[in-house]
A = this chain, B = another copy of it.
Amino acid sequence: MHSPTENRDTLTKRLTDTGLRPTPQREVVFKVILEKRTHPTADEIFAMVKAQMPTISLATVYNCLETLVQNGLVRQVNFDRAPTRYCPNLHEHAHFHDEVTGEVHDIEVPVELLSQLRALLPAGYDASAIELSFRGKASPLPGHN
């Protein structure tokens, strides 16, 4: 377990380590994404951040998100034409989008399988990113009401 202070420090450190100025806005945006592991949208992040920093603007949230994504501290996830979601799990993984609840769950993918996917590409094709997502419903398991 980390104390809030430790948390904040590692968070600040991750920003500076990637050469970013650890502005209060960036820190609070980053913190909110790390805490809320529900793949929030920019609007949701804005709402949560605003509770802690009422003067922040939506444009800043977008700016922070962009720099966090560009510097590899946060991942961007898109489903169809729905608003972009942000995900702190940097580990290469897939997503399951529950069409009933709207929730998004991370799905681990063995590296072995990822290289099998890469192997599908014809010679000369070089993929810098692979996106794998499932859409469907997650029924409650029998015996788990």
A interface with B by C-beta (< 8 Å): 76, 78-81, 84, 94, 96, 99, 105, 107-109, 113, 116-117, 120-141
Contacts and interface: CB of A to CB of B under 8 A. Distances in A.
Contact of A129 (B116, B127, B135): B135
A45 to B, nearest CB: 16
Contacts of A136: 125-129
A62 to B, nearest CB: 12
A51 B142 CA distance: 56
A113 B109 contact: no
A132 to B, nearest CB: 5
Pick the 8 closest A-B CB pairs, nearest first: A127-B136, A127-B134, A128-B136, A129-B135, A124-B141, A125-B138, A126-B136, A131-B133
Contacts of A76: 80
A122 B94 CA distance: 12
Contacts of A109: 120
A130 B79 CA distance: 11
A135 B126 contact: no
Contacts of A128: 99, 135-137
A129 B123 CA distance: 27
B125 A135 contact: no
